[in-house]
C-alpha cells in the first residue's frame, strides 16, 4: 500500500460530517476562498472555450430575435451543426450514449415523432393512443423481465405493473419515493433508510437527497459485486429498501440478486433491481448462453425494477420503465390533488405534461425490434465485447475488471489509466473515467458492432498505452482532474467546482 492509499483509507474512516465541517471552516477563510475562486476560474476559463465551439460561426441569441427567422434558414444551420456532431457517435467512438443509431432506425423514430409530437399523456381522454402505447410498453417489459405468462390475469396484489418515466434516474426516483411513502403510511417510518452497494447508480443518492432518505452506501467486495454480508449488516429497523444492479454502471457486473432478494423477503423489506442498463440485454444474453445469474421478477423477493427503453430498448432518448410487484406499491408513486381550483389533478410520475411522442417512439422501437431483433442485436454486442476484451487482455499493463457481458472495464497497476483515457481521447474516443479504483470503461453498443470498430479500439488502446509508457506525464489533459477528483478527501470542493461547471452550461 502506498502512503497516498494509506492516507486515503484513514480519511475514509473520518466521519463525513467532520470533513464537511472542515471544508466549511476552510471556505470561510477569505484567503482560502479567494484562492479557490482563482483556481476554479483558471480551470473553467479553459473549459468555457471548448464548450462553445459554435461561437462566431452561427448567431448567438441572448434575447428573442425581433422578427422570426426563416424556417429553411434555421434548419440549414441546425443541419450543419448536426453534421459536425454526428460522426463521433455514428462511427462508434462513444461509450454507451447512442445504443442503436442505425440510420434506418433513427429515421423510423423520427417519423413516429413527427406523427405524435403534439401528444400529451396527461390528457388521456384526448389521446387514448398514448395510454395504449404506455400500457403496452409496461406489459412487454414486464413480460421480458420474468413477470410470467399469466401476468395480465394476475390479481392486483401480484401483478407486475409499472409506469413509463423520462429516464433511468426518474424511474429510480419514483421507486425510492414509493418505498419511502409506503413505509411512512404503513409502518409510521419517519427516518427511512436505503441500503445500496457502492457501485449503484448516482440516481440513488439523488433520490435520497431529494426525498430525505438516509443513504447507506456499502462497499462492494473484492469481486466488485454487492457484498451480501455487509449489505445485511447495514440494515436497521429504519431500512425501507435494498438495491442491487443488473448490471451496475461502473463495471457492468450483475450483483447477487437471489441472495439479497431472499434476505429482503424474509425481513419484509423492499428490494429494487436497477436494470436500467441491462434490462434489454441480459434476458437475450442468457438465451444466447452467456452466464447471466437470475436478476428479475422470476426471483421471489424482487419488488421493483428500473429498465431503460432509451438505452438498449433502442427508443429515442427520454423514456424508461419502472416496474413493481403489485399495484399497492405503485400507488405510492402516484400523485393526486382533489381540492385545487384548477380541477381534479392526478399524474403517475414526476412530470405533469409529458412528451407522448417519446412513449410512441419507445413503443414503435420495441414492436419493430421484436424478440428476434433484440436477440440478434445482443448476439452482435456480445461478440464485439469479447473481441474488445481479448484486446485488453493482450495488453500486459491493463487488467480487466470482472467478466461483464457487454462492458469493457479496465484498470492498470503500472500506468496512470487516466492518461490512457486521455490518449484514447486524442484518437477520437469518448470513454468514461471511473473512480475507486481508477479505471476506464467502454459500454458496448450496436455502434461498436459495425465493421472495423472493435479492431480500431484495440489498436488505439495499444497505441495509447505505448504512448503513456514512453512519454512522461506533462500535467495536461483531464488525467490530473480525474486523479484529483478520485482521491481528494474534501469532496465538497470538487462539488463546488462541478456546480460552477453547470453554471457555465447556461452561459450564452
Ligand atoms: C445502471 C444505471 N442505472 C441508472 C442510470 C440512469 O439512467 P439515466 O441517465 O437515463 O437517468 C444509468 C445510466 O447510465 C445506469 O447505467
Residues 262-270 have a mean pLDDT of: 98
Q: What is the pLDDT of residue 2?
A: 47
- With beta carbons less than 8 A apart as the criterion, state whether 236 and 192 touch: no
CA distance 9 to 27: 24
Give, using CA atoms, the residue closest to atom 7 of ligand 1: 168
Please choose from 249, 278, 282, 312 the residue to mutate so as to test ligand 1's pocket, defined by most ligand atoms within 8 A of CB: 249
pLDDT class of 8 with cuts at 50, 70, 90: low
CA distance 243 to 302: 10
Question: 21 C-alpha to center of ligand 1: Å?
Answer: 31
- With beta carbons less than 8 A apart as the criterion, state whether 215 and 205 touch: yes
- With beta carbons less than 8 A apart as the criterion, state whether 106 and 361 touch: no
Q: Is residue 12 part of a domain?
A: no
CA distance 325 to 112: 31
Look up the domain containing 297 and give its range: 115-366
Higher pLDDT, 12 or 126: 126
Q: Is residue 14 part of a domain?
A: no
Please choose from 276, 304, 441 the residue to mutate so as to test ligand 1's pocket, defined by most ligand atoms within 8 A of CB: 276
Give, using CA atoms, the residue closest to atom 8 of ligand 1: 168
Can you read off the three cell numbers belonging to residue 280?
A: 434489454
Q: What is the pLDDT of residue 488?
A: 62
Q: Is residue 361 part of a domain?
A: yes
pLDDT class of 15 with cuts at 50, 70, 90: low
Q: Is residue 127 part of a domain?
A: yes
The residue written with cell numbers 409530437 in the block is 117
CA distance 155 to 201: 32
Q: State whether the Cα torsion 122-316-47-34 is positive or negative.
A: positive
* CATH number for 344: 3.40.640.10
Q: Is residue 245 part of a domain?
A: yes
Q: State whether the Cα torsion 390-392-395-401 is positive or negative.
A: negative
Which three-class secondary structure string do you get for 272-288?
A: EEEECCCCCCHHHHHHC
Checking if the pLDDT of 1 tops 60, the result is no
The residue written with cell numbers 471552516 in the block is 25
Question: 366 C-alpha to center of ligand 1: Å?
Answer: 19
Higher pLDDT, 492 or 173: 173
Tally the domains of the chain. Answer: 1
Question: 272 C-alpha to center of ligand 1: Å?
Answer: 14
Q: Which CA distances in Å does 150 have to 139, 142, 160, 286, 460?
A: 11, 11, 10, 22, 50
Checking if the pLDDT of 5 tops 60, the result is no
Q: What is the pLDDT of residue 7?
A: 47
Q: What is the pLDDT of residue 489?
A: 61
Question: 181 C-alpha to center of ligand 1: Å?
Answer: 23
Residues 113-119 have a mean pLDDT of: 98
Can you read off the three cell numbers belonging to residue 63?
A: 434575447
What are the backbone angles phi and psi of residue 353, rounded to the nearest 5°? Answer: -60, 145
Instruction: Give the CB-side neighbour count of residue 493, counting CA atoms within 13 A.
Output: 22
Exposed/middle/buried for residue 211 (C-beta within 10 Å: 0-12, 13-18, 19+) = middle
Q: Is residue 497 part of a domain?
A: no
The residue written with cell numbers 457555465 in the block is 504
Say what the pTM is. Answer: 0.93
3 state DSSP class of 441: strand
Mean pLDDT of the chain: 93
Give, using CA atoms, the residue closest to atom 6 of ligand 1: 168
Q: Is residue 63 part of a domain?
A: no
Question: 334 C-alpha to center of ligand 1: Å?
Answer: 22
CB atoms within 10 A of CB 501: 15
DSSP sequence for 186-220: HH--SS-EEEEETTS-HHHHHHHHHHT-EEEEEPP
Q: Is residue 242 part of a domain?
A: yes
Atom of ligand 1 nearest to the CA of 247: 1
Give, using CA atoms, the residue closest to atom 9 of ligand 1: 168
Angle between helices 453-470 and 356-393 (to 10 degrees): 60
CA 439 to chain centre: 17
What is the CB < 6 Å shell around ligand 1?
167-169, 201, 203, 245, 248-249, 274, 276-277, 308, 320
Amino acid at each position: 500500500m502506498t502512503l497516498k492509499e494509506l492516507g486515503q483509507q484513514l480519511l475514509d474512516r473520518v466521519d463525513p460530517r467532520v470533513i464537511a465541517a472542515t471544508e466549511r471552516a476552510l471556505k470561510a477563510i477569505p484567503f482560502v476562498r479567494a484562492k479557490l475562486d482563482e483556481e476554479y476560474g483558471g480551470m473553467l476559463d479553459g473549459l468555457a472555450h471548448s464548450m462553445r465551439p459554435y461561437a462566431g460561426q452561427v448567431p448567438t441569441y441572448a434575447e428573442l430575435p425581433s422578427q422570426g427567422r426563416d424556417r429553411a434558414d434555421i434548419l440549414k444551420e441546425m443541419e450543419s451543426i448536426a453534421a459536425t456532431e454526428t460522426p463521433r457517435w455514428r462511427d462508434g467512438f462513444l461509450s454507451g450514449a447512442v445504443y442503436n443509431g442505425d440510420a434506418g432506425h433513427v429515421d423510423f423514430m423520427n417519423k413516429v415523432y413527427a406523427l405524435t409530437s403534439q401528444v400529451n399523456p396527461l390528457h388521456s381522454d384526448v389521446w387514448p393512443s398514448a395510454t395504449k402505447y404506455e400500457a403496452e410498453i409496461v406489459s412487454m417489459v414486464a413480460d421480458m423481465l420474468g413477470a410470467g405468462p399469466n401476468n395480465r390475469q394476475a390479481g392486483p396484489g401480484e401483478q407486475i405493473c409499472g409506469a413509463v418515466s423520462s429516464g433511468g434516474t426518474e424511474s429510480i426516483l419514483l421507486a425510492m419515493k414509493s418505498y419511502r411513502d409506503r413505509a411512512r403510511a404503513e409502518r409510521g417510518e419517519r427516518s427511512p433508510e436505503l441500503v445500496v452497494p457502492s457501485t449503484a447508480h448516482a440516481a440513488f443518492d439523488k433520490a435520497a437527497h431529494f426525498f430525505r432518505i438516509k443513504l447507506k452506501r456499502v462497499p462492494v467486495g473484492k469481486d466488485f459485486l454487492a457484498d451480501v454480508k455487509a449489505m445485511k449488516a447495514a440494515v436497521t429497523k429504519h431500512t425501507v429498501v435494498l438495491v442491487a444492479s443488473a448490471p451496475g454502471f461502473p463495471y457492468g457486473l450483475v450483483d447477487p440478486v437471489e441472495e439479497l432478494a431472499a434476505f429482503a423477503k424474509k425481513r419484509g423489506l423492499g428490494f429494487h433491481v436497477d436494470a436500467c442498463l441491462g434490462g434489454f440485454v441480459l434476458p437475450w444474453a442468457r438465451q444466447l448462453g452467456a452466464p447471466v445469474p437470475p436478476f428479475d421478477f422470476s426471483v421471489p423477493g424482487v419488488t421493483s425494477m428500473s429498465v431503460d427503453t432509451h438505452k438498449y430498448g433502442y427508443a429515442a432518448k427520454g423514456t424508461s420503465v419502472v416496474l413493481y410487484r403489485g399495484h399497492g406499491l405503485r400507488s405510492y408513486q402516484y400523485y393526486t390533488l382533489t381540492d385545487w381550483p384548477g380541477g381534479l389533478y392526478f399524474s403517475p410520475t414526476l412530470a405533469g405534461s409529458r412528451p407522448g411522442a417519446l412513449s410512441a417512439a419507445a413503443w414503435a422501437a420495441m414492436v419493430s425490434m421484436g424478440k428476434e431483433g433484440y436477440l440478434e442485436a445482443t448476439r452482435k454486442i456480445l461478440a464485439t465485447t469479447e473481441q474488445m476484451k481479448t484486446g485488453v487482455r493482450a495488453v500486459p499493463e491493463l487488467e480487466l475488471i470482472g467478466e461483464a457481458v457487454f462492458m469493457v472495464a479496465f484498470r492498470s497497476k503500472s500506468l496512470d489509466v487516466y492518461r490512457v483515457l486521455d490518449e484514447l481521447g486524442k484518437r477520437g474516443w469518448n470513454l468514461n473515467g471511473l473512480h475507486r479504483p481508477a479505471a476506464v470503461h467502454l459500454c458496448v453498443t450496436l455502434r461498436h458492432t459495425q465493421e472495423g470498430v472493435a479492431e480500431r479500439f484495440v489498436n488505439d488502446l495499444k497505441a495509447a498505452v505505448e504512448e503513456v509508457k514512453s512519454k512522461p506525464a506533462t500535467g495536461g489533459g483531464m488525467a490530473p482532474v480525474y486523479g484529483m477528483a478520485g482521491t481528494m478527501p474534501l469532496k465538497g470542493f470538487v462539488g463546488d467546482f462541478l456546480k460552477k461547471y453547470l453554471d457555465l452550461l447556461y452561459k450564452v
